[in-house]
Amino acid sequence: MPSSKDQPQTQEEKDEEELREVERKIHEVLDLMTNRKNRAELDATLEQARARRDEHTGNDMPVVHISKTAHAPTTMHTKTHLDLAENLKTRIALGQYALSLEDSLRRLSERYVEVLERILTRSRY
pLDDT tens digits, one per residue of 50-71: 999 999 999 999 999 998 888 9
pLDDT digits (tens, 9 = 90+) for 90-122: 999 999 999 999 999 999 999 999 999 999 998
Rounded distance between C-alpha atoms, residue 29 and residue 100, angstroms? 10
Tell me whether residue 76 is in a domain. Answer: yes
Q: How many CA atoms lie within 13 A of 81 on its CB side?
A: 9
pLDDT score of 5: 62
Tell me whether residue 101 is in a domain. Answer: yes
Residue 64, beta-bridge partner list: 73
CA 23 to chain centre: 12
Domain count, the chain: 1
Give φ, ψ of 75 to 5 degrees.
-110, 160
Tell me whether residue 91 is in a domain. Answer: yes
Tell me whether residue 94 is in a domain. Answer: yes
Say whether pLDDT at 1 is over 50.
Answer: no
Tell me whether residue 69 is in a domain. Answer: yes
Tell me whether residue 46 is in a domain. Answer: yes
pTM for the whole structure: 0.77
Q: Which domain holds residue 112?
A: 15-122
Mean pLDDT rounded to a whole number for the chain:
91
Alpha carbon of 45 to those of 8, 23, 52: distances in Å? 45, 28, 10
Query: Rounded to a whole number, what is the distance in angstroms from the first to the last CA of the chain?
Result: 35
Tell me whether residue 6 is in a domain. Answer: no
Tell me whether residue 5 is in a domain. Answer: no
Q: Which helix (H) or strand (E) holds 58?
A: none
pLDDT score of 4: 56
